[in-house]
Amino acid sequence: MALDAPAGPPQLFRRYFRVPAHPVKADERQMSDGVSGKPLTNRRHRWRRILKLSSHTHSLITPVCFFSLIFLAILPASILRAQDSHFHNAPPSSSQLKNRYAGKPAAIAAGSRLYDVNCASCHGMGGRGTGNIPALSQGASQSAPDGEVFWFITTGSVANGMPSWTGMSEQERWQLVAYLKSLQNSTNAVRTESLPTSVTPVKTNAPPPPTPFEDFRYEEPGKARKITAQDLPAPYATAAANNGPRVVARPPDAWPKAPAGFSVQQYATGLDNPRLLRTAPNGDIFLAESSSGKIRVFRGITREGKPEQAGTFATDLNQPYGIAFYPPGDNPQWVYVGDTDAVVRFPYQNGDWKASTPAQHIADLPHGGGHWTRDIQFTNDGKKMFVAVGSASNVDDPDTTKSENHRADILEFDPDGSGMQVYAYGIRNAGGGLAINPKTGELWCSVNERDGLGDNLVPDYITHVEQGGFYGWPWWYIGGHQDPRHVGKHPELRDKVVVPDVLLQPHNASLEMTFYEGMLFPADSQGDIFASEHGSWNRSVRAGYEVIRVPLHQTGRASGEYQDFLTGFVVDNGHVWGRPVGITVAHDGSLLVSDDGSNSIWRISYAGPHGQNREPGKAGPDSKKASK
């Protein structure tokens, strides 16, 4: 698939609704329109924009570091050349500007301090990225001449939420460029011991959010919540916020909080940007360390809640995230990995500790800026593979945006990478979490919705996925609510928007989800969903930074409510020490949660309402009793 291929005539409507597939050969790397079998060159009205906030709100967002649009710029060079030969349309003369501070330790140190104050909350310590914001150590921000980057810092791009930084002195802007360039190809982990430690919590004096919306001050394990489409405020009821977290070292008295009867242990520490977790059929735990391009593996659990063994299964991957074992069942032959630009696989049998061959390429994926995580799942019968690909932007109009080609979709493939189809669309970013309900076989997803419309819009969500379903992005959201940035567009789609099953707090950044099939938790947890909420940046008072439980009531169906389950990762409205990402059920029935704030994995087990030890496999009491 060529993302920079010339756009052809729109083929919107037959593309919107799934019809019988006409597979294409794996080596063609194209997608069929599902009707004629011909490849599409202009896949419906597709969509780009990198956290691009409405011009109605850009003046309300402060401070925003210049790297906010370098997020947009981290694209493969071939795609950038197709759009413009200069960094963000910088004038050719800017490339001749020289940075007299380049490579000078004092200037780099000064630039580092500027970055920490203005940029680290969104882009991570050391420019390593955070959440769906990529690292700054590679891509266009590194390949562009210093002068073009300096020009962009100075000029800005107001329409994209990027202010001009003329408020900084010229020297400071050049120092910032020097620091950015010093990050080139840096893959060293930012260890927790290097994070700030002396943080005194500051009380948040903001008024409580309107019901049913909440923020970190009101998160409490076991507390139930429910948001409906009728609860949504009007767009811009509050200003859009830029409130990214400053990650600090875990305070000595801080520990994740679970409902009564549950205990929390630190399973693994010293990890490098730990992301998605998956449990192999034999009980081994696979972990994607996305920044360093590794898949780690852990085996066993000691009495102290630590792994008995730890190793590295594969290296040299390209921002790996999704992990899936194939075929489904007890005896897989392959482990598939979702890199940011491709699906690859390794031969695998239960107990394999290290990949025996290099990665085998299966399918190309849309990539280049924006949401970079690619989760993978297989149908229970193993006949189809699902891959979630998030949008390249916040809310760009796909009618005019080529870089959104095949983005904001859940794609369907044959296991060999052929026969690519769109299974569901208008899903801004489900790349953080796909799951198959083991009882019903339904596909479910965990979704990051759009930003820039205020504190309480648009809710993130968890939902089962309807084949051929349209979920609204970018023109509509949560049923018939039109995004004000696209007023009047596609009225014919209003009544086709699927309302998700469970609406979450807006900007929660919902990531990996799993169905609980263990036998350690209380009996009424069977079949329920547990999901990691990475935490907000676009809310004036932060929300998320927790694990939630979605009751399915032993029916496989959600009724809209969810519960706080694991909290305690927030210090105050400016600082957090933990950010949940991955989640999986261990072989003994405990729950494992990866945390890319503290670079660790947490283990949650259940001992009963009075703390008595229980053996795995014995059903516990009702969770309401356990939480008393």
Any residues with CB less than 8 A from the CB of 211 and at least 6 apart, and which?
A: none
User: Per-residue pLDDT for 18 more than 50?
Assistant: no
More reliable by pLDDT, 608 or 485 = 485
Contact between residue 204 and residue 572 where contact means Cβ atoms under 8 Å apart:
yes
Contact between residue 308 and residue 302 where contact means Cβ atoms under 8 Å apart:
yes
The region of weakest confidence among 105-119, 180-194, 374-388, 438-452 is 180-194
Confidence of residue 59 (pLDDT cuts 50, 70, 90): very low
More reliable by pLDDT, 159 or 283 = 283
Whole-angstrom Cα distance, residue 594 to residue 571?
A: 19
Q: What percent of the chain shows pLDDT beyond 70?
A: 77
User: Per-residue pLDDT for 335 more than 80?
Assistant: yes
The region of weakest confidence among 19-28, 91-100, 222-231, 430-439 is 19-28
Q: What is the dihedral of CA 89, 95, 97, 101, to 10 degrees?
A: 100
Any residues with CB less than 8 A from the CB of 267 and at least 6 apart, and which?
A: 298, 301, 305, 306, 307, 592, 600, 601, 602, 603
User: Per-residue pLDDT for 13 more than 90?
Assistant: no
User: Per-residue pLDDT for 117 more than 50?
Assistant: yes
Q: How many of the other CB atoms lie within 10 Å of CB of 566? A: 29
More reliable by pLDDT, 432 or 119 = 432
Q: Average of pLDDT values for 476-481?
A: 97
User: Per-residue pLDDT for 167 more than 60?
Assistant: yes
Whole-angstrom Cα distance, residue 461 to residue 558?
A: 12
Q: At 84, which amino acid appears?
A: D
Dig out the tokens for 541 from the structure. Answer: 């008072």
By C-alpha distance, which of 12, 34, 10 is closest to 23? 34
Strand 224-226 and strand 246-247: pairing?
A: unpaired
Confidence of residue 590 (pLDDT cuts 50, 70, 90): very high
User: Per-residue pLDDT for 258 more than 60?
Assistant: yes
Q: Which residues make beta-bridge pairs with 294?
A: 289
pLDDT digit string, tens, across residues 183-242:
876 654 455 556 777 789 999 999 999 999 999 999 999 999 999 999 999 999 999 998
Q: What is the pLDDT of residue 140?
A: 73
Q: Average of pLDDT values for 156-179?
A: 80
**Winning range, highest mean pLDDT, from 49-63, 68-82, 140-154, 245-259:** 245-259
Q: What is the pLDDT of residue 36?
A: 33
Confidence of residue 111 (pLDDT cuts 50, 70, 90): confident
Q: What is the pLDDT of residue 143?
A: 84
Confidence of residue 620 (pLDDT cuts 50, 70, 90): very low
Confidence of residue 5 (pLDDT cuts 50, 70, 90): very low
By C-alpha distance, which of 134, 121, 133 is closest to 195? 121
Confidence of residue 51 (pLDDT cuts 50, 70, 90): very low
Q: How many of the other CB atoms lie within 10 Å of CB of 3? A: 22
Whole-angstrom Cα distance, residue 383 to residue 416?
A: 10
Q: What percent of the chain shows pLDDT beyond 90?
A: 67
Q: Average of pLDDT values for 488-507?
A: 97
Confidence of residue 12 (pLDDT cuts 50, 70, 90): very low
pLDDT digit string, tens, across residues 387-416:
999 999 999 998 888 889 899 999 999 999
Whole-angstrom Cα distance, residue 97 to residue 328?
A: 56
Q: What are phi and psi of 98, to 5 degrees?
A: -110, 145
User: Per-residue pLDDT for 332 more than 60?
Assistant: yes
Question: What is the pTM (predicted TM-score) of this model?
Answer: 0.80
Q: Average of pLDDT values for 421-441?
A: 97
Q: Average of pLDDT values for 507-529?
A: 97
Q: Determine whether domain 58-186 maps to CATH 1.10.760.10.
A: yes
Q: What is the pLDDT of residue 38?
A: 36
**Winning range, highest mean pLDDT, from 148-152, 166-170, 456-460:** 456-460
Q: What is the pLDDT of residue 392?
A: 92
Q: What is the pLDDT of residue 122?
A: 60
Q: What is the pLDDT of residue 15?
A: 35
Q: For the chain, what is the mean pLDDT? A: 83
Whole-angstrom Cα distance, residue 186 to residue 368?
A: 19
Q: What residue spans define the domains of the chain?
A: 58-186
Q: What is the pLDDT of residue 183?
A: 85
Q: Average of pLDDT values for 44-71?
A: 35
The region of weakest confidence among 24-33, 341-350, 381-390, 431-440 is 24-33
Q: What is the pLDDT of residue 617?
A: 36
Confidence of residue 78 (pLDDT cuts 50, 70, 90): very low
